Amino acid sequence: MAIEIRVPSVGESISEVFIGEWYVKEGEWVDVDQNLVGLETDKATFDVPSPEAGVIGSVKIEAGSTAEIGDVIATLNPGPNPNGDSSGERSTSKAESATASKGSASQQSAQSATTGGHVMPSAARVAAESHVDPKSVSGTGPGGRVLKEDVLNHVGGADGGSGREERRVPMSPMRQTIARRLVSAQKDAALLTTFNECDMSAIKELRAEYQDQFVKKYDIKLGFMSFFVKAVIGALNEFPAIGAQVEGTDLVYRNYCDVGVAIGAGKGLIVPVIRNAERLSFAEVELTIADFAKRARDNKITLEELEGGTFTITNGGVYGSLLSTPIVNPPQSGVLGMHGIFDRPVALNGEVVIRPMMYIALTYDHRVVDGREAVSFLVRIKEAIEDPTRLLLEV
């Protein structure tokens, strides 16, 4: 008997989802827990896994359409792999198998590309047949997955193609929400940005000295973000207005630090929240962020993890940013922007020396935060980063 694949409940406030991409086709055999389709809401992207191994019977709602919670979007006929493959890996249709078997080199290349986790099988096959490295193709699927269409577009561009082409794609619910919230933040808040810079020498030396011991004990590298999270917590304790929020005609202050960390998730930027960050050690902060990043790539961040937050940190430096003005995540009143670390000449003790420098930026809501508090807050961040001993002594 066929199993109905339905849109799962993804949150109390969510009644409708957007069908982002089908990873499988009708007649294709899938393994248990293999992701079938990517669903998008206004806050996050989720994958729907197969409840059992079997063959996809029919796809009821195509990609690009909307569906309500509980709607049947596909059917699955449970059973063993008809091709006799017991390895649990996805098999291809007979036609695709025949095509793939024409050249062992192409087949090996496709398999190698598929194991990367971000290249869809059909895209890997087209890439192999076209002698294109799939890693050089920009993916437009959920989580940055490379689709067959991406490879075809890439090949067409490489071959010259027809040149002046246009492609109209509906904005996903997440992208629509990002656009709406950014415009709202600019319109409803009195945003202002102040800047400073940090000499990263002390932290780099500290990481170099203790990195091996840290990895050995906690099985994770000591990064820069945990230092900034700790610095933010200390500065928020000293200047609580930065973490306050406007509710009507009231200002709400909190005695805890729920720090949001911006993470690129393919379809857009998401900000999962580190709850009670003030209670966590450096290792616990690093482990939490690493877990967020991994699950963001796999579309497994829950809506609850994206809600709330008293302050946000975003790191444009991972993309090579030198300087930017981050935008506040409403209803928060402040966001810290980290940037790239670049060697620059600076004046130190009357001499010009080369130091690894990072520009930092604080965007704040001037309705809540005065300029003196904002500038002083950023100075505290700078002092803690340049002398990380202050983080341990909490001074």
Tell me the per-residue pLDDT of 185-201, one tens digit each, with 9 for 90 and over. Answer: 888 899 999 999 999 99
47 is catalytic: no
Query: What percent of the chain clears pLDDT 70, i.e. is strictly above it?
Result: 86
Rounded to 5 degrees, φ, ψ at 208 are -65, -35
Average pLDDT value for residue range 269-293: 94
342-349 long-range contacts (CB < 8 A, ≥24 apart) are 346/199
At residue 162 the predicted structure's pLDDT band, cuts being 50, 70 and 90, is low
The 3-state secondary structure of 183-207, one letter per residue: HHHHHHCCEEEEEEEEECHHHHHHH
219 is catalytic: no
Cα–Cα distance between 225 and 338 in angstroms, integer?
9
- pLDDT surpassing 70 at residue 184: yes
Query: What percent of the chain clears pLDDT 90, i.e. is strictly above it?
Result: 51
Average pLDDT value for residue range 310-334: 93
Average pLDDT value for residue range 140-152: 77
Residue 254 or 168, more confident: 254
Check residue 303 and give its pLDDT: 80
Supply 83's token pair.
Answer: 């091709």
Average pLDDT value for residue range 354-358: 97
Q: pLDDT tens digit string along 289-317?
A: 999 999 888 878 888 898 889 999 999 99
Check residue 107 and give its pLDDT: 43
71 neighbors 83 (Cβ within 8 angstroms): no
- pLDDT surpassing 50 at residue 98: no
Which one of 71, 219, 370, 387 is the catalytic residue? 370
At residue 87 the predicted structure's pLDDT band, cuts being 50, 70 and 90, is very low
Q: How far is CA 395 from the centre of its chain?
A: 33
Cα–Cα distance between 365 and 330 in angstroms, integer?
10
Residue 269 or 105, more confident: 269
Which one of 33, 131, 133, 366 is the catalytic residue? 366
Check residue 241 and give its pLDDT: 95
Q: What is the mean pLDDT of the chain?
A: 84
Question: What DSSP line would sit under 270-313, residue for residue?
Answer: E--EETTGGG--HHHHHHHHHHHHHHHHTT---GGGGS--SEEE
Check residue 86 and give its pLDDT: 46
Q: pLDDT tens digit string along 36-69?
A: 998 888 777 788 999 999 999 999 998 888 888 8
Closest CA to 276 of 258, 294, 260, 261: 258
Q: Residue 245 has what DSSP assignment?
A: E
